[in-house]
Amino acid sequence: MDPSDQADIISNLPDVLLVLIISCLSFKECVQTSRLSKRWRSVYLQTRNVSFKESDFLSPSVYANPISWVRARVAFVDYVCSWVARIDDQPIDTFGISISYPKKYLDVIESLIAFAVRKRVKALVLDFSNPAWTTFHDVNLDELVVEIPQSVYDLATLELLKVGACKKFDPAKLSNLGKLKTVSFGCMVLTNFEPFLKTSRVESLTINNCRELDFDTIKGNMREVAIKNCDFSINCTFHLPRVDILKYSGDLFCFEFDNMNTIISEVEFDFRVLDNNNDENDSTTAEGGMLCHLLNNLLDDGGRTATTLTVCPFLLKMIPRSEHPHFLRPMETKHLVLKTELHPREFNGIRLLLVNCPKLETLTIDLLPPSPIATASSYAGIDPQTYWMQNISYECLRETLKAVLVKNFTGGANELHIVKFFIQSECEHLERVELYMPFDLDEGRKMFANAKSEMLQRSSNRVQVVVHNS
């Protein structure tokens, strides 16, 4: 069918169907449809999902010039106000406002929140965080100037709430919202939290970059919990009997797991904030022991398992340096995701996890920037050119491993060494190796990576090597 005919088919649809279509798009994409024709300029205003994100409307170039940045923000706020004025009489399901340095626009923000409450929205996003804040250490309390009004705490229609960089926020006031299922709190002081956890019916909880947490237990019937770079005390206990997805990134504390779900679909640990790339550190033995205890405590005690386990380079480097790395116990994990730079310091950790995942079916090697260089130096007697040539057998390779996936494949030497290891070892059930190139790889490097993938395919008649060009 001719593309112009397809466009005609869409144009011939009634407005009610077009509104349903654009309501499935992101708000940024929805706004872009207004350029299609005069008709679309009225249709796009009828979307029921409205999200004003400063980063979506301001060009990255304006941030380099303070005057341009101020002018762009004024234009953005004017656009928001004019949009809201035009849709005052229509229903809205989702409303969001995300703007940094909000002090100048407190009156506008107050009116926008009142608008969302009046529309009795189901999903509300109020995010005033600074994009430069990457951990709780970066959060400047003096910049927390927006206070959530009582009307939001009383909004009984809410099913999703995201709050970022607000002052005097009290999660306990949300406890009576029976429809609230998804919450996200970020970049602020988070206190009086335990009453909320005890009484709410929330199924998905996300906490990002929060300071001065006054609780050491995360307890409830949540199905999904994600915690990123938060200011805990010295320990934290998880009591999550229904959790299906558990993600943690940040500092390493003493974690305990009590009454957890027996089978957790997805577990991810990311401690890269601790990775300062120092080869010698007096604390590495203790950190390695804590990480081994973390994995044992969550994934072994009581027969618990994670179907998919994702780990970071820091964990790969540290667990072999534990005083007793052999105490790491076997796990029932079927999909292991290694976020790695493929530095020789990580190799023993990779091997240790392969040994302790005897039922592994899929291995994903997610290569992190900077991409591994072809001539990486040796480390502590570990030579990247010969390490994966050792004839070492793993139970998962002999019995269960079916697929190896490599993300951000560029054909570098370290990548080739480890992929060759799996292709040429005794992986009796290995069916395929999938190589995913980065989306921003130039044509010359794509040709190089393709040539290396063909070389890998020639090395095995049994395993299929599949290349995905982004």
Instruction: For residue 249, give both structure tokens.
Output: 């990134």
Give how many domains the chain has, as a whole number.
2
- pLDDT tens digit at each of 470 positions of the chain: 455 455 556 666 666 676 666 667 666 666 666 666 566 666 666 678 888 999 888 888 888 899 999 999 999 999 899 888 887 778 889 999 999 999 999 999 999 999 999 999 999 999 999 999 988 999 999 999 999 999 999 999 999 999 999 999 999 999 889 999 999 999 999 999 989 988 889 999 999 999 888 888 899 999 999 999 998 877 889 999 999 999 999 999 888 898 899 999 999 999 998 887 555 555 578 899 999 999 998 986 557 899 999 999 999 999 998 887 778 899 999 999 999 999 999 999 999 999 999 999 999 999 998 644 444 566 777 888 889 988 788 999 999 999 999 999 999 999 999 999 999 887 889 999 999 999 888 999 999 999 999 999 998 888 999 999 86
Give the pLDDT confidence score for residue 135 in this predicted structure.
Answer: 87
Q: Which amino acid is at 276?
A: N
Do 272 and 231 have their domain in common? no
The DSSP element (H or E) to which 289 belongs, if any, is helix 284-299
Compute the Cα dihedral for 380, 381, 386, 391 and give only its sign.
negative
312 within some domain: yes
Contact between 237 and 214 (Cβ < 8 Å): no
| 8 belongs to a structural domain | no
Residue 258 Cα to chain centre, angstroms: 25
pLDDT given for residue 375 in this prediction: 46
> Which of 14, 186, 216, 197 minimizes the C-alpha distance to 100?
186
Token look-up 């969302």 returns 116
* pLDDT reported for residue 48: 80
**Looking at the structure, do residues 176 and 310 belong to the same domain, yes or no?**
no
Give the helix/strand (H/E) hosting 163: strand 160-164
User: Is position 53 within any domain?
Assistant: no
Contact by Cβ (8 Å): 80, 108: yes
pLDDT for res 59: 85
In the structure encoding, which two tokens stand for residue 238, read together?
């998880």
CA atoms of 424 and 456, how far apart (whole Å): 10
Residues 233 and 172 in one domain: yes
**C-alpha distances out from residue 342 to 45, 217, 339, 363, 414, Å:** 49, 35, 9, 14, 7
**φ, ψ at 200 (rounded to 5°):** -80, 165
Q: Which amino acid is at 271?
A: F
- Closest alpha carbon to 217 in 207, 229, 206, 232: 232
| Nearest CA-CA partner of 307 in 276, 333, 288 | 333
Where is the domain boundary, 214, 242, 270? 242
The rounded distance, in Å, linking the Cα atoms of 460 and 443 is 26
Q: Look-up: residue for tokens 């969550």?
A: 298
Query: Does 220 lie in the same domain as 131?
Result: yes
Which pLDDT value is given to residue 16?
67
What's the confidence (pLDDT) of residue 374?
41
pLDDT of residue 33: 66
Question: Is 13 inside a domain boundary?
Answer: no
Residue 180: beta bridge partners?
none
Q: Is the peptide bond before 358 cis (omega within 30 degrees of 0)?
A: no
Is residue 136 in a domain? yes
- Both tokens of 167, joined, read 């002052």
Looking at residue 322, which CATH number applies to its domain?
3.80.10
Across-strand partners of 433? 404, 465
Amino acid at 390: Q
Asked whether residue 102 is domain-assigned, the answer is: yes
DSSP letter string over 174-227?
A: GTT-TT--EEEEESSB--S-HHHHHH---SEEEEES-B----SEEES--SEEEE
What tokens appear for 35 in the block?
Answer: 């350029």
Same domain as 339, residue 399? yes
Q: CA 93, CA 103: separation in Å to the nearest integer? A: 27
CA distance 344 to 376: 8
| Residue 277, domain extent | 262-469
Structural domain includes residue 34 = no
Check residue 321 and report its DSSP letter. G
| Residues 316 and 177 placed together within one structural domain of the fold | no
419 and 459, same domain (yes or no): yes
Bridge-based pairing of strands 160-164 and 235-239 is unpaired
Which pTM value belongs to this model? 0.88
Examine residue 311 and state whether it is found in any structural domain, yes or no: yes
Contact 158, 135 (CB under 8 A): no
Cα(77)–Cα(84) distance, integer angstroms: 11
- Do 329 and 385 fall within a single domain? yes
**How distant, in Å, are the alpha carbons of 180, 367, 407, 412 from that of 470?**
38, 15, 11, 18
Last residue in a domain, options 242, 270, 286: 242
